[in-house]
Amino acid sequence: MIQKEAEKIFETRELNVNMGPQHPATHGVLRLVLDIDGETIVKVTPYVGYLHRGIEKLGESLSYFQALPLTDRMDYVSAMSNNIGYCVAVEKLFGIEVPERAKFIRTIVGEMSRISNHLLWLATHALDIGAMTVFLYCFREREWILDLFEMICGARLTVTYPRVGGVRNDVPQEFLESLWKFTDEFPSRILEYETLIDQNRIWLQRTVGIGVISAEEAVSWGMTGPTLRGSGVPYDIRKHMPYDAYDKVDFEVPIGTAGDTYDRYRCRMLEMRQSNNIIRQCIGKLPPGPVMAEDPKFTLPPKDKMMMITHPTKEVAYFIEEKACKGCGMCMRACPAKAISGEKKKPHKIDQAFCLQCATCFAACKFKSMKIIPGGKGLSEEKLAELAAGPMPEEIAKAAEHLVRQFEFIKKGPKAPEGELYVATEVPKGELGFYFVSDGSGKPFRMRLRAPSFIHAGCLPRLCVGHLVADVIAAIGTIDIVLGECDR
Amino acid sequence: MTVREIVKRFTFIEIFQGMSLTLRRLFSHAVTIQYPKERRHIAPGFRGQHALAKNQAGQAKCVGCGLCATICPSQCIHISRAKGQVDKYEIDILRCIYCGFCVEACPYGAIVLTENYEYSDYKKENIYMKKDRLLSNWDKYMPGKKGEEYFKKFWRPMSDDFGTPTGQAVWRGKKQ
């Protein structure tokens, strides 16, 4: 009787709490609605989409070459891996074979980005749980990697370094020296982090037995990457479907046993050591050779080959040969300065006073009626006609070929073969998949991304329910999400 | 619970190990820099503020073909032409994503990204780059031979990228 009375008086209700979107521990703008009973989580509902920029849709309106910088902005913590994922997918679509050296360089930078991602993950995860020192130490090493990125491509975060068909530019010698020094020192730095937290009793209490998920369940939730490997599933795309130079290096895939937050932490720590190992092997094996695939259809033509026309001292003039001109009007429509005039089916004419010497008309002409006259700028019409009468010098004709390729590549974009494909790569967060549907034009008909962060954010309710409120922070940290990738 | 675990639990050994590490760090040099007073080294080829290149005669190299505006993924370059010259060349800096595609697309080597990254302002108009400002950036940040060096190194792809140039970086073993 008394007990019933007491229950009536001290009646408890579930409390509905909003966590985020502006919460420092949600690693971005993730909003979680928590139903809590006292301190215990009853239900978690994640709301995503605050950082949605429509990258998939934007990809449909950009050519395969242009869409590359979009992938930087997905997982901005490991932009290099995203770039590589995109390039590998597009290369498979086009059937381009990448040179050996480019493959090794990509593997090096990919693993560097894995280390820098895991360092940032460890830093923020530890900070969320309460270990401040690890945060500062991790950033010290991360800075080194970002400086190395700056050395090779001029940017620290949004790198846009790999290109479809290779990489943007070759690596300098200082880069290799500095990176080797980094790999020499880095294992001792990992030991430092482990001294700070690995056996720390607070760390153990906050991570052991928190967010446990079994191997079967983790697979059926669609987890990938270290989040899955913590549960003991040795699934790694680098091992099972090797891309780049991963089939030429030795490495192990570390796995956990219990599938809790601590095991996932151990997995990532071991993975950093493996990455370090891979980089060392790749530096040792780095072969000399080209860094871009020689594929006229897909890669930009070399700039020095066009110098005969484009060099500022070669003051060229463009002239339409009256005999060859069919009067189709392509040049007239293409000319940005509106310097070309003429009636249909009659020879067109360039007004030299308006001409910018930009070569757009030359690239547009299908009937080869255009002539390039080096040193012809400022000459009179009669003189130009006289000079244009003979065939173009051979070196000018060769340079013009490359110039036309440059214009066509940029204006229209390389044409992809028809079909669809899905290509997955192992980014630090998990499996990043690109799915392209191509209708044979220069732009993808549909570009779909399988972002690991999105799928892992969906697992949050499974990991949190039954634990305390403070453990939600640990759960968000352990699945390693970046909302830029999650919302796309 | 083994004896080892009991000893560990009551001696706080792991805490003291961590503490001694932080104590040792206390006496080593700082890795941070005091920003406005000290500046970090910027690697050559840094993708910062834009500049329009000039030739030896001091004229703009840009001919106004518009390839940079075509390739720009964020469509931040606006060009218009008047009689025989480029009338307007404007870059909306607030839209730019610094991918460097404009440099790659230009066949004339007319646009570069300089090493300047400090150009915040209170007014939007001041960050909207007009042609004069872009040309003066060239004199300011790419003086002398620097511009030439930039084009040699970072105006890609060159024929070297499709072949095997001499002096390519390879690992030559640890320096003694």
Residue A145: its pLDDT value, please?
92
For A15, the 3-state DSSP assignment is strand
**What average pLDDT does range A284-298 have in this prediction?**
85
Looking at the structure, do residues A177 and A249 belong to the same domain, yes or no?
Answer: yes
The residue among A30, A47, A64 that closes a domain is A47
Looking at the structure, do residues A393 and A477 belong to the same domain, yes or no?
Answer: no
Partner-chain residue, chosen from A151, A304, A358, that has the shortest CB–CB distance to B159: A304
CA angle A326/A331/A333 to nearest 5° reads 120
Residue B80: CB partners within 8 Å, gap ≥ 6?
Answer: B86, B87, B88
* Under 8 Å between Cβ of A369 and A361: no
Q: How far is A262 from chain B (nearest CA, A)?
A: 17
Separation CA A179–CA A286 (nearest Å): 13
Label residues A44-57 b or e (16+ Cβ within 10 Å = b).
bebebeebeeebbe
Looking at the structure, do residues A370 and A470 belong to the same domain, yes or no?
Answer: no
Tokens coding A233: 């599933």
Average pLDDT, chain A: 87
Residue A276 has pLDDT above 90, yes or no: yes
Query: Is A68 in Cβ contact with B99 (below 8 Å)?
Result: yes
Separation CA A10–CA A14 (nearest Å): 13
In a domain, A262, yes or no: yes
Looking at the structure, do residues A95 and A236 belong to the same domain, yes or no?
Answer: yes
The residue among A361, A396, A411 that closes a domain is A411
In a domain, A432, yes or no: no
Query: Is A154 in Cβ contact with B156 (below 8 Å)?
Result: no
Separation CA B116–CA B140 (nearest Å): 10
A427 versus B173: the higher-pLDDT residue is A427
In a domain, A443, yes or no: no
Residue B175: its pLDDT value, please?
62
A44 versus B82: the higher-pLDDT residue is A44
User: Model-level pTM?
Assistant: 0.90
For A391, the 3-state DSSP assignment is coil
Q: How far is CA A411 from CA A184, A337, A398, B95, in A?
A: 46, 17, 20, 21
**What average pLDDT does range A423-449 have in this prediction?**
90
Q: Which residues of B touch A166 (CB under 8 A)?
A: 161
Tokens coding B96: 């730019």
The answer to whether A378 contacts chain B (CB < 8 Å) is no
What are the structural domain ranges in chain B?
50-156
Looking at the structure, do residues A70 and A38 belong to the same domain, yes or no?
Answer: no
CA angle A454/A437/A108 to nearest 5° reads 60
Residue A476: CB partners within 8 Å, gap ≥ 6?
Answer: A25, A26, A27, A30, A128, A460
Separation CA B28–CA B70 (nearest Å): 52
The answer to whether B86 contacts chain A (CB < 8 Å) is yes
Query: Is A310 in Cβ contact with B154 (below 8 Å)?
Result: no
In a domain, A438, yes or no: no
* Under 8 Å between Cβ of A271 and A368: no
Per-residue pLDDT 10s for chain B (176 aa) are 788 888 888 888 888 888 888 898 889 888 888 988 988 888 888 888 899 988 888 888 888 888 899 899 888 999 988 877 888 889 988 889 998 899 988 888 888 888 888 888 898 888 888 888 888 888 888 888 888 888 888 888 887 888 888 878 888 877 65
The answer to whether B71 contacts chain A (CB < 8 Å) is yes
* Number of domains making up chain A: 3
A48-80 residue pLDDT tens: 888 898 899 998 988 888 889 999 888 888 899
For A373, the 3-state DSSP assignment is strand
**What average pLDDT does range A283-291 have in this prediction?**
89
Pairing of the two strands B128-129 and B77-82? unpaired
What CATH code is carried by the domain that includes residue A253? Answer: 1.10.645.10
A94-138 residue pLDDT tens: 888 899 999 999 999 999 999 999 999 999 999 888 888 889 899
B10: closest chain A residue by CA: A201
* Under 8 Å between Cβ of A231 and A261: no
Q: Give start and end residues of each alpha helix (H) in A11-78.
A: 55-60, 68-72
Looking at the structure, do residues A282 and A315 belong to the same domain, yes or no?
Answer: no
A210-259 residue pLDDT tens: 888 989 999 999 899 898 998 989 898 988 888 888 989 999 999 888 88
In a domain, A420, yes or no: no
Looking at the structure, do residues A28 and A67 belong to the same domain, yes or no?
Answer: no
Residues 144-173 in A contacting B (C-alpha not used; CB under 8 Å) = 147, 150-151, 153-155, 158, 160, 166, 168-173
Given pLDDT bands bounded at 50, 70 and 90, which one contains residue A82? very high
A141: closest chain B residue by CA: B31
Residue A312 has pLDDT above 80, yes or no: no
Query: Is A68 in Cβ contact with B104 (below 8 Å)?
Result: no
Query: Is B158 in Cβ contact with A304 (below 8 Å)?
Result: yes
Residue numbers of the domain that contains A43: 2-47
B97: closest chain A residue by CA: A69
Looking at the structure, do residues A236 and A208 belong to the same domain, yes or no?
Answer: yes
Looking at the structure, do residues A276 and A129 belong to the same domain, yes or no?
Answer: yes
- Nearest of A155, A90, A406, A58 to residue B73 by alpha carbon: A58
Question: Does B50-156 carry CATH code 3.40.50.300?
Answer: no
What is the number of CB-based contacts under 8 A between chain A and chain B? 174
Looking at the structure, do residues A277 and A376 belong to the same domain, yes or no?
Answer: no
Looking at the structure, do residues A309 and A369 belong to the same domain, yes or no?
Answer: yes
